[in-house]
A and B are shown apart, each in its own frame.
Chain A
Amino acid sequence: MANLRDIRNRITSVNNTQQITKAMKMVAAAKLRKAQDRIIQTRPYANTLASVIGRLIQGQELIYPLLRETSEPKRSLFIVVGSDRGLCGGFNNNLFKEIELFVANNFENGKEAEGLSLITIGKKATTHFSKRSYSVDAKYPGFFDQLEYELSTSLMNDIMENFIKENIDEVYLAYNEFKSVITQNRKVEKILPLKAEDLVVADTYKAVQLDYIYEPDQESIINELLPKYIEMHFWKAILESNASEQGARMTAMDSATENAKDLERNLRLKYNQARQSAITTEISEIVSGAQALSDS
């Protein structure tokens, strides 16, 4: 039978853990709400931008640098959006596994493939891929500490510049898409070269018939809007990943709290059993002692 004091100590420590996980869950919930608000706030801008581009490119022959397709891409870049902090379940690991699988399936020499490089966003992604001998071009640990649009645009602008200069042939973006609080969608998608089909949007309610005045002209407008479209896409991915992270942490901490509760209940049962048996032993000792006295 375990020592009473040992069990009591364990109960206290489980209880403390439970309080920590509970607090972390509540913090994640508050952050999640904020993250979701940020996604919602980008929507009017993103939707208008997409529909304007969609309307502009209709019936146009598209020859823009950002749409440059290469038949045999030589240099590929992966942008991996992870998280800065851990304790969020399989949020990071599942995504990394997906990327590793994708790389193994699509590149001849796997991670040693020539011309394959990574940009890692978030501390967890940075340490994971640096340790595994991937060629990491740029690291952004602590990216989510100060989440600002300007930061993501300047990062994306560098990449687009390299793409236009033909230093990179294709760019993939890997992130967790926010499905709901408890589910994340792991996504590995190609963001450059842009595909014309992706730009066409179904929403053409403002009638194509409208005879627009273009200033300066249709082509330069499209040329200016396409980078904005990619910047927006990237920013959205970052925000979604941020929201997913909080959601993942919330569910992970919730089940941790539940587990701690179970553990505590079991320990308490054990503790009471031990106490009970200690009392029983004591009583029987007293009774037998008393008996011995009265017998003599």
Chain B
Amino acid sequence: MSTFNAKILTPVGTVFEGEVTGVRMPGTLGSFEIKPNHAPIVSTLQSGDVAVHTESGDYLFTISGGMVEMASNDLTLLAESVITE
């Protein structure tokens, strides 16, 4: 399965960084999932859960809004605050 690089950043530090197979997040227009080779996208996010799928397991974070940018298989998610579960 192909993977891509994902980062979850907050103003107080990096919460997650690594190779993932998919990230599901709460977009302003509804929840959506980014898979490898997704077209370049910039989207704002509302508060909700972010699910990160990796080959070795899944991670769940709760964010309080933010934004995401995906370009050339490089995903950066900026979250104002994150609660790790």
Contacts and interface: CB of A to CB of B under 8 A. Distances in A.
Interface in A125-172: 149-150, 153
Q: Which of A42, A45, A48, A235 has the most CB of B within 10 A?
A: A45
A220 interface: yes
A48 B76 contact: yes
A59 interface: no
Interface of B: 7, 9-14, 27-29, 39-44, 67, 69, 71-72, 76, 78, 80-81
Contacts of B13: 41-42
Listed from nearest, the 5 A-B pairs whose CB atoms lie closest are A215-B43, A41-B13, A45-B9, A213-B41, A210-B40
A212 B70 CA distance: 9
Contacts of B27: 215
A214 B43 contact: yes
B9 A149 contact: no
Nearest to A41: B13
Nearest to B30: A215
Contacts of A38: 12
Q: Which of A214, A220, A231 has the most CB of B within 10 A?
A: A214
Contact of A41 (B12, B28, B40, B69): B12
Contact of A216 (B10, B28, B72, B76): B28
A192 to B, nearest CB: 19
A216 B46 CA distance: 12
B36 to A, nearest CB: 16
